[in-house]
Amino acid sequence: MKLPHKTNQFWSLAIKLLIVSLSLVVILKAVQEVKPAHWQLIFDFSKFTEVIFLGLVLALLNWSLESLKWKTLLSPVKSIPFYTAVSESLRAHAVSILTPNKIGEFGAKASFYSKSLRPQILKLTLTGQLHQLLATCCFGILGLSVIYAQLSLRLQLSIGLTSGLLLLSGLTLCLMNSKNKWLRRLQLYVASLAQLSDPKNAKVLVLSMLRYLCFSHQFYLLLWLFQPELTYTEVMPVIFSIYFISSFVPVFLFLDLSLKAGLALVLLKGVLASEVIIAVSLLMWIFNFGIPAFLGNLLLLKPRRGLGELKQML
């Protein structure tokens, strides 16, 4: 039974308010868990202005690349202007902050389009995430290969075992000769991602690489501002490794701060003071997760034409 237009508008607004409220609570909770001493370290820092400027500029570049990637992915299905890609990326991020490993991004982006386009939108969202994961793996494996010998035996065994299982699973999927139509479709989909002769795939991969280099160097530069004697070749492999390991841990985005800070404390122990590591991890979360999620919430509340685009999110 088709609901009246006014009823659709009411439920659309109610769902938006629920998502925005939950998202803001998550952001507030993550901020409240930070110790006052770490806030004090940031606000009392002599280069506070440089930290804010650098963080905001690189966060803007990061999300611009993400939006351009979404615009490129969507181009075979629908042509959208860049500002629409930015809006959809931020709104989807505001929803995904409530879910582990950005799963909510799938439903959010699909809800922005008509039912006939949603299967393609889901596939394109997955394609974008897999390209970003590929970029993370390329740089992460490079970083781990540099620092692996310096790790404790326990960490070496854990990383080696996990990497071996992932590699074995990937090879099994690619080589398995199955008549199951869903498995066959998955194999064909994975094979299509590897076709870099396709201009769209190549462009999306390049944008994913650039975005990865943007936020990883943002991490390094913020650390360098706090401790200028840091050497690039010493710290960047560790940062690559942190992003690589964290990408395979299922975690809600509001816990991403604790995860990356914990990994950094383990891998950068002896190189940086723990207070600096936690402060910079906090800044990275604010610039790349907190502020974009807040902006996405504002965009979610912005009046839009049409019937309840967010009804399919929950």
The residues with which 100 forms a beta bridge, in sequence order, are 252
Place of tokens 């993550």: 30
The tokens of 280 are what? 């910079």
- Give the least confident one: 11-25, 49-63, 99-113, 283-297: 11-25
* C-alpha–C-alpha distance, residues 89 and 63, integer Å: 8
Query: What does the pLDDT look like over 128-148, one tens digit per residue?
Result: 998 999 999 999 999 988 888
Is the pTM above the cut of 0.85?
no
Long-range contacts made by residues 108-114, C-beta under 8 angstroms, separation at least 24?
108/310, 108/313, 109/70, 110/312, 111/309, 111/310, 111/311, 111/312, 111/313, 112/88, 112/309, 113/78
Of the chain, the percentage scoring pLDDT greater than 70 comes to 75
Beta carbons of 260 and 279 less than 8 angstroms apart: no
d(CA 310, CA 5): 15
Give strand pairing partners of 306. Answer: none
Across 24-42, average pLDDT:
71
Dump pLDDT digits (tens) for 226-246: 998 889 998 999 999 999 988
Neighbours of 63 (CB within 10 A): 22
The DSSP string of 236-300 is HHHHHHHHHHHTTS--BGGGHHHHHHHHHHHHSBTTB-HHHHHHHHHHHHIIIIIHHHHHHHHHH
pLDDT band at 311 (very low <50, low <70, confident <90, very high): very low
Encoded amino acid at 61, one letter? L
Smallest CA-to-CA distance from 43 within 290, 286, 288 is with: 286
